[in-house]
Amino acid sequence: MAGPSKVEFPGQKKRQRMRARGTKKASAGVRKKLETSIAELIDDTGAILPIADYVVRRARKDKVKRYIRECEKVIEKKNNRKWLGKRMV
């Protein structure tokens, strides 16, 4: 018993290419912009953190303050590559 016939359209093979992962690179302009923004963040890291200036009875239950505290811990140890590496794993 014969199977269904395969129909090919013009230009179909071009769309079926495999994408190699991890080979893309940013353009020079984008790379320069990222480097400047990262340098600004490293210099003044706390500038982007929100300020929680309200009082909560149970500080453990308040997610915003808890995550701000966690971010402050990471900011304090931003130059300790060993600690950061352990935290990433």
pLDDT tens-place string over residues 18-54: 666 776 788 889 999 999 988 888 888 877 787 878 8
Domains: count for the chain:
1
Give CA–CA dist 76/34, Å, rounded. Answer: 22
Residue 56 counted as domain residue = yes
Residue 73 counted as domain residue = yes
Residue 20 counted as domain residue = no
Of 75, 71, 37, 78, give the one whose Cα is nearest residue 52: 71
The pLDDT, as a whole number, for residue 14 is 57
Work out the percent of the chain whose per-residue pLDDT is above 90: 8
Average pLDDT along the chain: 80
Give CA–CA dist 49/2, Å, rounded. Answer: 66
Residue 31 counted as domain residue = yes
For residue 51, the enclosing domain spans 26-88
The pLDDT, as a whole number, for residue 65 is 82
CA distances from 83 to 32, 43, 69, 77, 78 (A): 28, 19, 17, 7, 9
Residue 81 counted as domain residue = yes
Burial class (CB in 10 A: 0-12, 13-18, 19+), 53: exposed
